[in-house]
Structure 1
Amino acid sequence: MAEVKLFGSWYSPISKRVEMALKLKGVEYEFIDEDLRNKSPLLFKYNPIHKKVPVLLHNGKPIAESSVIIEYIDETWEGPSILPKDPYERAMARFSRTIEEKCGVAMWKAFSSPGEEGEKAKEEAAQLLKYLEEEIKGKKFFGGENIGLVDISANFIGYWFGIFQEIAGLELLTKEKYPNLGEWIDGFINHSFVKDYLPPKDKITEVYKASAQHASSDTNQRSNFA
């Protein structure tokens, strides 16, 4: 039996993407929760360039970068496809994923950055959310009837950012502004497949309130994830 280990963080949406991909494929794995303020020597060993989570260890071989890991999982194990089989649809899914990733970074900056930088981030996030709003229109999930690559990648938008908005008093992503995304969020976070991988809201709130207080010295929590 293949040995699979995942170095991640319990509260990281980016780590959770990989966990969801593994679950979708029915892969058993050992989760190693990293203290991101005191990273382990093993993390440095297996990801010496970026020193970030997540890192997947498959039979002793490390794979870094969440997007690379997810595609590796999709290609390595049998089970429901994460990426579309059709080459054009696959390309569009990858493109939408890059839009989501940019949106996630902008939304995080809107939450954590004060003043002009935060305002610029809000404007950038709003434009990217408009794209995703149109992309999900008329669909149950970005993957169609089933959860796929973009849905997994957009878990930050689906769950974490709602918590951030409450902490910061933002109204960047609302059902009134983005009804299609709002409908997707409801379906996504209440899906039986997703529920198991969403950390408790109160614990997430505690972690990121502390992060917001140290934002000026901690730079950007997302820099720990890739």
Structure 2
Amino acid sequence: MNYKNALIVGAGAGLSASLARLFLKEGMSVALAARSAEKLAEFVAATGAKAYNCDVAKRDEVEALFAALDKAGEAPDVVVYNPSFRVRGPLVDLDPAEVEKTLAITAFGAFLVAQQAVRRMLKKGQGVIVFTGASAGVKGYAQSAPFAMGKFALRGLAQSMARELHPQGIHVGHVVIDGGIRNARRPAEPDKPDALLDPDAIAQDYLHLIRQPRSSWSWEIEVRPWVERF
């Protein structure tokens, strides 16, 4: 498929930046959406990507984001949903408002973004939507119930969408990131240089998923460092 326009939602440093750089290198235009687009100014200036403000938990802001992309002639062929929020602690001590926020950002926002994207992709009969999952989407950890709730819901959304939309030409993928991602605040240990996931390597996995021939589409892949236990 000849995809031209990519949208990365929940953009920031790390994986989103790696994805943006790779997509731009592959000749796609790239739009980045974040609650504060100002924080992306340096990256935008360096790469030529465009940045938009969007709180994914708010329906009107998601609709405004896609309307702006339509106006710019850049309705996305590829959408990557990257936002997440988590609150940890014993179940009895959790703040319900923080739990609600976790679900809104991690799962409900994914639905809002996917709905807008699919409405446009169906008209073309093609497109790709990739959701960034986590270990918490397949196994709930102690004192991490809200994050598990959000990521389980995200995985369910992706699977349901894949079953519905693959036959209509829209490729839906869910990537389980099972391990820590290397970043500036979490550098690799000198004696274990590849014990953390390299965001550039993850981006290559996303690109492979996006480019899969439709005769062999995956709806889910897992990525983990070779030393990570299952």
TM-score above 0.5, yes or no: no
TM, length-normalised to structure 2: 0.36
TM, length-normalised to structure 1: 0.37
Say which structure is richer in strand: 2
Relative contact order (alpha carbons < 8 A, sep ≥ 6): 1 or 2 greater? 1
Say which structure is richer in helix: 1
